[in-house]
Amino acid sequence: MRDYINYIVIFFFIQTSALGQSHVDSDFIKTKGTWLFPVDKIVKIDTMGPCYYPCDLPRGLTIETDSNRIVRSVQPGQVAIVTFIGDAYAVIVRNNDYFITYSGLKSTLHKKGDYIKAGQEIGILAGDNDSFYELELFLSYGDKEDHRIQDWFSEDFRRKARFGK
């Protein structure tokens, strides 16, 4: 797992930048349950980090794969932040009041302000060695994190995951 302190810092940055926005993208909400895979091969999917009731820490998904694969956007939006966390890049894509964080990239193809379409390449996944590569995904809405990001993905994606629906 990457440094949680960095995630929390970015999360609070996003929270404060999202305050005051009132427009909710109903088209984004309609995509719940339809998102496709962000990488073309998945070895394992798991929820990210410990979370005890009540859950106050940002949660997301850790998607493990077998090589430095291309990471694709699960939804369209505008790049809000490109930053370096630990030894990898993170790209945060904004769609009105929703933010999707893609972390664990060795390189990124975008800069702040770029518009990304659904399915468009975001970057290349970084890895610790020849067989361990992790993409971390996190979803937030305005000043609240979404504790069940897996519900936004397709049924096929959820079946592959250890957590189920």
Q: Is residue 106 part of a domain?
A: yes
Domain ranges, residue 100: 4-19+33-160
Q: Is residue 25 part of a domain?
A: no
What integer pLDDT is reported at residue 91 of this predicted model?
A: 96
Which segments in the chain show pLDDT lower than 50?
Answer: 4-5, 8-9, 12, 14-23, 58, 163-165
* 93 Cβ contact partners less than 8 Å away, ≥ 6 residues apart: 73, 75, 77, 78, 79, 80, 99, 100, 101, 102, 116, 122
What's the number of domains the chain is made of? 1
What integer pLDDT is reported at residue 61 of this predicted model?
A: 83
- In whole angstroms, give the CA distance from residue 56 to residue 68: 31
Straight-line distance from the first to the last Cα atom of the chain, in angstroms, rounded to the nearest whole number: 23
What integer pLDDT is reported at residue 147 of this predicted model?
A: 60
Return the CATH number at 129: 2.70.70.10
Q: Is residue 28 part of a domain?
A: no
User: Which is nearest to 12 in space by CA: 113, 136, 144?
Assistant: 144
Q: Is residue 165 part of a domain?
A: no
Do residues 130 and 143 make contact, with C-beta atoms less than 8 angstroms apart? no
Q: Is residue 51 part of a domain?
A: yes
Tokens 């979404």: give the residue: 146
User: In this predicted model, what pLDDT tens digit does every residue of 71-80 receive, in sequence order?
Assistant: 999 989 999 9
Q: Is residue 26 part of a domain?
A: no
Q: Is residue 131 part of a domain?
A: yes
pTM (predicted TM-score): 0.76
